[in-house]
Chain A
């Protein structure tokens, strides 16, 4: 199974400041079809996760443009350009390239300092 390793696991940030989360996979996430099925999810307290980013850098409808995804191969990053209070929660990376199974990172808890 592909192991997804996130860092940091806890991220205290100041409102208005940037934040960055790293996710590394144990093998390349480039699929034989040429796509890289790397996704990011946000889980706010008491809610189900929701997708923010798919295929490395595609933002879902309704996701603020302060969220961006980047990376390639085995190294990926989710960036929040200016953290707002509503961004508090846990962020997960997930790979859908090497299936089965889908695998997730451990989660990064973002909180306000």
Chain B
């Protein structure tokens, strides 16, 4: 069965960076784009960007341009999302999700990132 398993919760100081991993299993890793979605109480669900696990090509939302980097390691079927220059309003749940042509068919369990001084 398809699974996206994310790394555990993180606590960071403002200005720091965080790197969240998402390990895929149960399907051919290179066949589906992986996106990242942020969930906050104030902003709801917000699309951050995507990565093509085959080529490594990325597309980022304008609001995260310059602060987010998505990478992958095909040898272990894992995608990474790094967010830099963290602010207190980056405190959120971050989800990796699988793209099924204009929709999301699978979600990771979410990774809580808390930014606090």
In the complex formed, the residue of B with least CB distance to A54 is B103
Q: Are A100 and B61 in contact (CB under 8 A)?
A: yes
B35 CB contacts on chain A under 8 angstroms: 102
Q: A71 near B: Cβ within 8 Å?
A: no
Which B positions have Cβ atoms within 8 angstroms of A? 35, 37, 44-47, 59, 61, 95, 100-105, 107-110
Measured in the bound complex, the distance between the Cα atoms of B45 and A96 in whole Å is: 14
Please tell me if the beta carbons of A51 and B103 are within 8 angstroms of each other in the complex. Answer: yes
Interface segment among A11-19, A20-28, A75-83, A103-111: the answer is A103-111
- How many chain A residues sit at the interface, stated as a range, is 20 to 34
User: Which residues of B have CB within 8 Å of A99?
Assistant: 102
Bound: A102/B50 CA distance, A: 11
A-B contact pairs, 9 of them (CB 8 A): A49-B104, A51-B103, A51-B105, A96-B101, A97-B102, A101-B61, A104-B46, A106-B44, A107-B44
Residues of B within 8 A of A31 (CB): 102
What is the bound-complex CA distance between A101 and B104, given in angstroms? 13
CB-based contact B103/A96 at 8 Å: yes
Q: Please indicate the chain A residues that have their CB under 8 angstroms from the CB of B46 in the complex.
A: 104
A31 vs B103: C-alpha distance in the bound complex, in angstroms? 13
Of B47, B101, B110, the contact of A100 (CB 8 Å cutoff): B47
Q: Which residues from A are CB-within-8-Å of B103?
A: 37, 39, 51, 54-55, 94, 96
Q: For the complex, what is the distance from the CA of A45 to the CA of B40, rounded to whole Å?
A: 14
Nearest chain A CB to B40 CB, angstrom units: 12
